[in-house]
Amino acid sequence: MLVGDCALRVLAIASRKGGAGKTTLTGHLAVAAEMAGCGPVAIVDLDPQGSLADWWNRREARYPYFVQTKLSRLREDIIAIRRLGVKLLLIDTPPALTNAIQLIIDLADFVVLPVRPSPHDLRSVGGTLSVVDGLKKPFLFVMSAASPRAHITRDARAVLAECGDVAVNTLHTRVDYAASMVDGRTVMEVAGAGKSSQEIKALWAEISTKLDLLEARDKAAPSDYPEVSPVPEAQKLVGGR
């Protein structure tokens, strides 16, 4: 999203099916982006379960920022945090196909769709994808909780590829992902999580490249977001350490 002379890139992490790994992916990508120098990064938790907020509250590191907002004022708050210099905003969405999902995706620049390689997950993709396509948003499927060299992983990738781009980098089933988030960390911040850490860093690099291409395109087009005066209370939106 371009407002004035500063770009704020908004990513929605969306899946109609619970258990697809949205929250884990949101937290990990946010930290990976900060580590890669793409910050300041902020996160929003719009999932009623509040798991991402719980993770952030246990976190000791100063990044990413946490944005206190709700659906009814999301658009205005996105503009406000841009004023604070935030460069990347990741939104964890509810695991249901509702009007809320449509609004969030409409405000996003890019949508990441985590999908586990299972028949149930593949069947649930259609609804979310219809919203993304209807709003003409660029997106990327991310295979999560996959088993290396399993036939079902390869078959699921082939099915998804018929519907859109699938990330080259796959997130495999590893205890490290869940274990690291118990105390507010990520696999990049714990010892002995080399393979998991490499997966996340590589996935972020892939997504970042796509975002850079989108940003270059958007700079040549008028913004849908009008220039606004500074928001005096904007700082209250963002939590940090």
Please tell me the distance from the alpha carbon of residue 43 to that of residue 77, in angstroms, as a whole number.
12
Please tell me the distance from the alpha carbon of residue 229 to that of residue 239, in angstroms, as a whole number.
22
pLDDT recorded at residue 224: 56
> Is 3 in a helix, a strand, or coil?
strand
pLDDT recorded at residue 230: 46
The residue type of 180 is S
**Please, are residues 55 and 27 in contact by the beta-carbon 8 Å criterion?**
yes
Per-residue pLDDT of the chain (241 residues; tens, 9 = 90+): 433 345 899 999 999 887 889 999 999 999 999 999 999 999 999 999 999 999 999 999 999 999 999 999 999 999 999 999 999 999 999 987 778 899 999 999 999 999 999 999 999 899 999 999 999 999 999 999 998 888 999 999 999 999 999 999 999 999 999 999 999 999 999 988 899 999 999 999 999 999 998 887 777 765 555 454 444 455 566 777 6
Q: By C-alpha distance, which of 10, 6, 45 is closest to 27? A: 45
pLDDT recorded at residue 219: 72
pLDDT recorded at residue 134: 96
- Tell me how crowded residue 120 is: count the other CB atoms within 10 A of its CB: 9
Query: What are the two backbone dihedrals, phi and then psi, of residue 213, each rounded to the nearest 5 degrees?
Result: -65, -40
Is the pTM higher than 0.85? The answer reads yes
Please tell me the distance from the alpha carbon of residue 23 to that of residue 30, in angstroms, as a whole number.
11
**Please, are residues 14 and 128 in contact by the beta-carbon 8 Å criterion?**
yes
Q: What is the CATH code for 2-220?
A: 3.40.50.300
pLDDT tens-digit map of 222-234: 555 545 444 445 5
pLDDT recorded at residue 177: 93
